[in-house]
């Protein structure tokens, strides 16, 4: 025994020493926004009534993370616990996941009660209290009350079975498929904890560009091991299903959803999955899109395909998330119109456990897109929002681009149908659907700081918070994230929030202002490529989107063009139909306009474009200066990393600006306005840049 | 100022709390064998004379890592420092990298002096003292003295520019090429420190299956950033060079080494590299091997190619490491003979800054191979040893296989030329070459514990220690590693060393006993594949190597067969020529023998094979039991991980054994000896196993 005690003591000393002599190692970003502040022997008395794994986690989290400032003992308990229900608190409308935190008197003793109708609710309450305290709130007087507005708050991991991550910029997949199910990396628990802390309750483990292998017995066992780890944190596991799996691993000759043998195969497969994962969430499907198989291969509709899968998981309470991101190989129709054209007629045809998952815009996660016209157009179908948290088109790992404003801009958009907003479509307020959901394409990898950079963590955080409550304010989320991540000192928080709130618009400015989109390089999507015109399919080429010529620039989606505007409700369509009533931020998305078109500022379109490119670069320079000012106030390791990233971003912002201007000038023949710096290189130089080893490429 | 102090204090509290409430996170293997034990305010007085970055590191390492038990102040100083040279210590033979640690009296004051002729020597001395103390040695009385026997101790990273690692089983490449040179991950420093602690003084950053891109300006700048980080740790950077780079990135039409334009291109390229990295080490080249380009493409010899590159780096003091791992696409000669056939005639033809890098055996890093016949056969050429630290053929990430005995078995082998051993060829004792070197194919990736498993760290460690001194004992290295890694408690150290020392032979037993080799599955090399016979090139197929038929098994390399034995010196060749004098551990490497051949034990060959397969499985079971017994003595996180790995290993050892026996029985038609368990499945089942997502595959 003595030797053991010695060993333990030596180890504790070692740990303390390691960190105090090498403090940088402790500030590597691993702890995300959950930066433990509780003292070892804190003055806070935390007790618990009831005993489930999730209640125990709620208690443990409070012990671990609640700052020492509480002047009340804290009690964790279900609302149904007799001593709590006796208080007759207003908990009925908290539902299955809501929480209530408030000071109460229990047996004559004042306590801060953390409660909910379920243990998951209690856990969310514990995290809400920690968040409240870590963002500077008082603990003793805290009254916190919230229930999620969206039922399914789910990450989509575009993670491949070989460990790579499509459009991942933060290392390999967290899932060590190869060593699962035998080895359960402790990091899986930390992942679940981080998600639970912001209310995420589901995760799709594998890429929507799916392999059928993920549905074989060995991989079901691996997924089950992850589900076991995630379960007490209130997180369910989902899988992307490859539609042709019945052929590839089932030995069938077809995957036709109307073939009874196919339906039977999927039913048996679902039964097999549920035997291993009793609370399996269901399937996510990318069908008939970018080469993926689907029901259209057999002349069946997306509804036929989705409903067949839905029937397989229905007896188990599972759902199907069916992506609306489709555009055909051969369809000459404006790509922005195709998803609507395909899915709108299917409204009302989907089974009641199917959700249609729609990207925020009609193209593909561009720095700015108008909201997708399907939102509001399928009232009889629950539509999930699909946001991209990983910044495929917004500077990937290194550019600071806080996506909160991108998310809220879309959620707050009015669909033109009365007071309806995109948020009210998604959260079910509009049509009272039983199912509601929001999906975020994860930016998480096995980099030590999870997301390849401190500020990328904010996008994971913001997605979770907005999925819980789409009405939250992006700046408020930025502030609470910054407080938890860097501490509550306003000398840090204020400039950090300022940087974050400028950052997305800066990316829009230096990559594609005024509604330009899809002007990036091919394949890896890294850097500018507005000149790309030689790819096989027209809609793969940037020139398809910007349509710049000597006379003007922009995609005419008004009645004189593709008439995509007609896919919006009349009140919105009317605004978009006219350049004068189209928001200038979306101008060239909807209109092809002459270079000398007059903007509201009085500038020509060309002058306004140039000014915005310059403004984007200048904003990054300002962000750098702001960050430089924080050197003494932020730990060295995280400061250095962001400083290095901002220097990359400034260089690349200039590159985007210079390359784009050089190209536009080659098309319009116009001089730069007086006083504007010429591009550093000529157009040929920019075209010659090549990045064969850029990360995140699909296979 | 007040707010800043508060911030700092809060942060220190947070750090302490995080670790004491979540101790598991601190024991994630990141610290390797350098497990800080120094108290924050230690009683050890450490001082330093002289000021170079490397001397400062030596001091800092002692402050950070030296246990508190020293009863003498420690002084770090160059031997040339006047106060030290006055002591007239015996330092002349320490050379450029050796160290001396010993108690001296300085100015009447007793101190423990850590010294050397260079600051690198002092740094190695500091690490030697830390190692000595952490393995239980007394500090006050320590007298340590050593100089490396091998000059170049270098890791070969088979890391690709896209972040993947060929034959890597511990995550992605450490090098974040994409963010270099802007972002210097603090982990690069920790990597250099770990290497310096075991005497490694060079690192080849990129895969021998090289891309020419690594020689372009952007990648030279990236390599230079790494070199800057590594330099104070005494580590030089090397690059694998693609022989056809003059064509691919130089715009030339040929890479013929005899073409003056080609030589001029390489010279200019070397000049460019040395401008960025003044202490660049040189090039490693895999030429005319497995599809790589090389001088043979132009009818020139390997010496022509190596010497042309050597001339390019010569003015800068650089070297060329030219790999002897060649076998031709079309050559029907026994693959085991081809490298000797090609290189032996070139002895004496290489420039004086060329080393020929020879794998430990003539095939490819098998669990056991006889030493490569080139060792001892090229007296006029400095031969580097190439070991594989990554366990491509020994269970990859998860199997516990301590390679110390594999390394020392080869190093201790007698070449048959007098008292010469392979070690004496490598360390230059035989021929007194100016250049000596040992290379290890790294098992390092960005997994948190660097090597994908705690025990894999021991192989990195053992390589470094043996490169410094090839005469070290494998068990002694295991012991000092275990003491540093798990603490000095003999209840832990003894069983750990026992497991380690049994482990490699267990792998030999369950994968291919009695000299069998190359019986693994295709491509990923994961698991058994003795039946594989359909691959395009004969020497890609396991059946080529084991040649099992109804009558017998083994590759006849005696005079009646390929006569590969004749490549050894007569004294050794004579032993290998006769099955009776061939060590049974290498029997089937050299001889095709009937199944009823009598082993020295009296068993038939078949009985002896079966017994060894069973013994391998049983040894793994024993290792599991030993590890189970350590549950209370090893921290939970590392204990759980190794326990999970051992369960995988036991299952896979059985799989290897069962699959192999099922196959051998299908060939020889023999029953299993009485009492031996039948394979769990039939042969068809084993053949049907498929692992498309196994890690480590080449591109």
The phi, psi pair for A75, rounded to 5°, reads -125, 130
Mean pLDDT, chain A, rounded, equals 94
To the nearest whole percent, how much of chain B has pLDDT over 70?
94
**How far off is chain A from B12, nearest CA to CA, in Å?**
8
pLDDT at B697: 87
Contacts B694 to A, Cβ<8 Å:
178
Mean pLDDT, chain B, rounded, equals 94
pLDDT, tens digit, 9 for 90 and up, residues B524-544: 999 999 999 999 989 999 999
By C-alpha distance, which of B139, B157, B136, B151 is closest to B206?
Answer: B157
**How far off is chain A from B13, nearest CA to CA, in Å?**
7
Give B360's DSSP letter.
S
C-beta pairs of A338-345 under 8 Å, 24+ apart in sequence: A339/A372, A339/A374, A340/A372, A340/A373, A340/A374, A340/A377, A340/A567, A342/A302, A343/A302, A343/A374, A343/A378, A344/A374, A344/A377, A344/A378, A344/A567
- Residue A182, H or E segment: none
The phi, psi pair for A383, rounded to 5°, reads -105, 130
For residues A236-260, average pLDDT:
98
Neighbours of B148 (CB within 10 A): 23
CA distance A47 to A214: 42
* Cβ-contact A179, A226 below 8 angstroms: no
pLDDT at B10: 32
- pLDDT at residue B692 greater than cutoff 50: yes
pLDDT, tens digit, 9 for 90 and up, residues A673-686: 999 999 999 999 99
A319: left (phi over 0), alpha (psi -120 to 50) or beta: beta
Residue B427's alpha-carbon distances to B284, B375, B577, in angstroms, are 19, 12, 28
Among the partner-chain residues A3, A11, A695, the one whose CB lies closest to the CB of B178 is A695
For residues A31-36, average pLDDT:
90
pLDDT, tens digit, 9 for 90 and up, residues A570-618: 999 999 999 999 999 999 999 999 999 999 999 999 999 999 999 999 9
Contacts B397 to A, Cβ<8 Å:
178-179
pLDDT at A35: 86
Among the partner-chain residues B15, B22, B398, the one whose CB lies closest to the CB of A23 is B15
Active site residue B412: no
For residues B30-47, average pLDDT:
75
pLDDT at A43: 57
- What is chain B's length? 699
To the nearest whole percent, how much of chain A has pLDDT over 90?
89
For residues B233-251, average pLDDT:
98
pLDDT, tens digit, 9 for 90 and up, residues B590-627: 999 999 999 999 999 999 999 999 999 999 999 999 99
CB contact under 8 A, A692 and B213: yes
CB contact under 8 A, B11 and A635: yes
- pLDDT at residue B39 greater than cutoff 70: no
pLDDT at A429: 87
CB contact under 8 A, B16 and A19: yes
**How far off is chain A from B1, nearest CA to CA, in Å?**
11
3 state SS of B528: strand
3 state SS of A159: strand
pLDDT bin (cut points 50, 70, 90) of residue A697 is confident
* Cβ-contact B240, B208 below 8 angstroms: yes
For chain A, the first-to-last Cα distance in angstroms comes to: 55
pLDDT bin (cut points 50, 70, 90) of residue A12 is very low
CB contact under 8 A, A40 and B19: no
- pLDDT at residue A560 greater than cutoff 80: yes
Global pTM? 0.95
Contacts B3 to A, Cβ<8 Å:
489, 491
DSSP string, B244-264: THHHHTT--S---TT-HHHHH
Decide if A692 touches B, using CB distance below 8 A.
Answer: yes
Residue B690's alpha-carbon distances to A247, A336, B558, B648, in angstroms, are 17, 41, 36, 17
CB contact under 8 A, A694 and B40: no
Residue B79's alpha-carbon distances to B58, B63, B90, B576, in angstroms, are 14, 21, 10, 50
pLDDT bin (cut points 50, 70, 90) of residue B140 is confident
Q: Give, in degrees to the nearest 5, the angle at Cα A274 between A269 and A278.
A: 170
Decide if B685 touches A, using CB distance below 8 A.
Answer: no
* Helix ranges, B31-115 (H): 53-65, 82-85
Among the partner-chain residues A15, A446, A647, the one whose CB lies closest to the CB of B26 is A15
pLDDT at B26: 66
- pLDDT at residue A517 greater than cutoff 70: yes
* Helix ranges, A360-489 (H): 404-411, 422-426, 454-468, 474-486
For residues A278-307, average pLDDT:
97
- The catalytic residues of A are 290, 364, 392
- pLDDT at residue B432 greater than cutoff 90: no
pLDDT, tens digit, 9 for 90 and up, residues A430-482: 888 999 999 999 999 999 999 999 999 999 999 999 999 999 999 999 999 99
Which residues 181-240 of B are in CB contact (within 8 Å) with A? 182-184, 186-187, 213
- pLDDT at residue B439 greater than cutoff 50: yes
CA distance A584 to A383: 28
Decide if A694 touches B, using CB distance below 8 A.
Answer: yes
Model ipTM value:
0.94
Neighbours of A81 (CB within 10 A): 17
pLDDT bin (cut points 50, 70, 90) of residue B68 is low
Decide if A633 touches B, using CB distance below 8 A.
Answer: yes
CA dihedral A402, A404, A405, A407 (to 10 degrees): 130
pLDDT, tens digit, 9 for 90 and up, residues B348-375: 999 999 999 999 999 999 999 999 999 9
Cβ-Cβ contacts under 8 Å between A and B: the total is: 164
* Cβ-contact B518, B539 below 8 angstroms: no
pLDDT at A68: 62
CB contact under 8 A, A186 and B637: yes
Which residues 480-519 of A are in CB contact (within 8 Å) with B? 487, 489, 491
Active site residue B680: no
Joined together, the tokens standing for residue B284 give 């490693």
By C-alpha distance, which of B526, B657, B512, B503 is closest to B586?
Answer: B512
Decide if A414 touches B, using CB distance below 8 A.
Answer: no
pLDDT at B24: 34
Neighbours of A689 (CB within 10 A): 14
Contacts A214 to B, Cβ<8 Å:
none
Give A209's DSSP letter.
S
Decide if B18 touches A, using CB distance below 8 A.
Answer: yes
Which residues 85-124 of B are in CB contact (within 8 Å) with A? none
For residues A197-210, average pLDDT:
98
Contacts B10 to A, Cβ<8 Å:
37, 487
3 state SS of B102: strand
By C-alpha distance, which of B264, B268, B267, B355 is closest to B306?
Answer: B355
pLDDT bin (cut points 50, 70, 90) of residue A107 is confident
pLDDT, tens digit, 9 for 90 and up, residues A165-176: 999 999 999 999
Domains observed in chain B: 28-146 (3.30.379.10), 152-486 (3.20.20.80), 509-555+592-688 (3.90.1330.10)
């Amino acid at each position: 025994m003595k030797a053991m005690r010695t060993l333990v003591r030596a180890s504790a000393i070692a740990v303390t020493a390691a960190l105090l002599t090498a403090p940088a190692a402790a500030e590597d970003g691993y702890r995300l926004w959950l930066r433990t502040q509780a003292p070892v022997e804190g003055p806070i008395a935390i007790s618990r009534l009831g005993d489930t794994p999730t209640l125990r986690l709620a208690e443990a989290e409070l012990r671990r993370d609640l700052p020492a400032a509480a002047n009340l003992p804290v009690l964790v308990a279900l609302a149904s616990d007799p001593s709590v229900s006796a208080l007759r608190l207003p908990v009925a409308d908290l539902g299955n996941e809501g929480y209530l935190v408030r000071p109460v008197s229990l047996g004559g003793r004042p306590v801060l009660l953390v409660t909910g109708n379920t243990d998951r609710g209690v856990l969310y309450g514990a995290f809400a209290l920690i968040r409240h305290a870590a963002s500077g709130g008082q603990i003793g007087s805290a009254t916190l009350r919230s229930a999620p507005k969206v039922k399914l708050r789910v990450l989509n991991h575009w993670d491949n079975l070989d460990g790579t991550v499509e459009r991942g910029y933060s290392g390999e997949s967290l899932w060590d498929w190869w060593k699962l199910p035998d080895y359960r990396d402790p990091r899986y628990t930390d992942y679940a904890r981080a998600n639970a802390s912001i209310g995420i309750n589901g995760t799709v483990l594998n890429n929507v560009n799916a392999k059928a292998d993920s549905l074989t017995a060995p991989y079901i066992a691996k997924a089950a091991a992850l589900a076991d780890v995630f379960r007490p944190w209130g997180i369910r596991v989902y899988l992307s299903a490859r539609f042709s799996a019945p052929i590839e691993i089932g030995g069938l000759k077809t995957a036709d959803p109307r073939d009874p043998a196919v339906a039977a195969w999927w039913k048996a497969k679902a039964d097999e999955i549920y035997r291993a994962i009793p609370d399996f969430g269901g399937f996510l499907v990318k069908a008939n899109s970018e080469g993926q198989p689907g029901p259209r291969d057999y002349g069946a509709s997306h509804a036929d395909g989705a409903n067949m899968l839905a029937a397989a998981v229905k007896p188990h309470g599972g759902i199907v998330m069916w992506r609306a991101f489709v555009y055909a190989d051969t369809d000459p129709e404006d790509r922005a119109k195709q998803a609507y054209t395909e899915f709108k007629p299917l409204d009302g045809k989907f089974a009641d456990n199917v959700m249609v998952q729609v990207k925020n815009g009609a193209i593909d996660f561009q720095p700015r897109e108008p909201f997708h016209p399907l939102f509001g157009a399928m009232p009889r179908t629950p539509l999930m929002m699909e946001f991209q948290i990983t910044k495929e088109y917004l500077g990937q790992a290194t550019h600071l681009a806080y996506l909160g404003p991108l998310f809220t801009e879309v959620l707050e958009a009015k669909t033109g149908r009365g007071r309806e907003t995109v948020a009210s479509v998604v959260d079910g307020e509009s049509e009272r659907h039983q199912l509601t959901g929001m999906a975020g394409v994860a930016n998480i990898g096995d980099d030590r700081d999870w997301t390849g950079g401190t500020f990328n963590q904010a996008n994971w955080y913001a997605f979770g918070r907005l999925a819980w409550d789409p009405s939250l304010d992006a700046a408020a989320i930025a502030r609470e994230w910054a407080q938890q991540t860097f501490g509550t000192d306003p000398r840090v928080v204020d400039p950090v929030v300022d940087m974050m709130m400028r950052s997305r618009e800066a990316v829009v400015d230096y990559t594609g202002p005024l509604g330009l989109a899809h002007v990036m390089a091919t394949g890896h999507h890294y850097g500018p490529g507005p000149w790309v015109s030689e790819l096989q399919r027209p809609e793969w080429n940037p020139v398809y989107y910007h349509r710049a010529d000597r006379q003007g620039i922009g995609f005419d989606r008004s009645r004189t063009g593709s008439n995509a505007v007609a896919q919006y409700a009349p009140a919105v369509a009317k605004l978009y139909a006219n350049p004068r009533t189209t928001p200038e931020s979306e101008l060239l998305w909807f209109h092809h306009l002459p270079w000398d078109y007059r903007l509201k500022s009085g500038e020509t379109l060309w002058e306004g474009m140039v000014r915005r490119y310059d403004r984007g670069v200048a904003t990054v320079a300002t962000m750098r200066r702001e960050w430089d000012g924080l050197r003494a106030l932020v730990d060295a390791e995280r400061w250095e990393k962001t400083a290095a990233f901002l220097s990359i971003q400034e260089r690349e912002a200039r590159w985007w600006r210079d390359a784009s201007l050089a190209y536009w000038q080659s098309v319009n023949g116009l001089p730069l306005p007086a006083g504007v710096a010429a591009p550093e290189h000529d157009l040929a130089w920019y075209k010659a840049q090549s990045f064969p080893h850029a990360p995140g490429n699909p296979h």
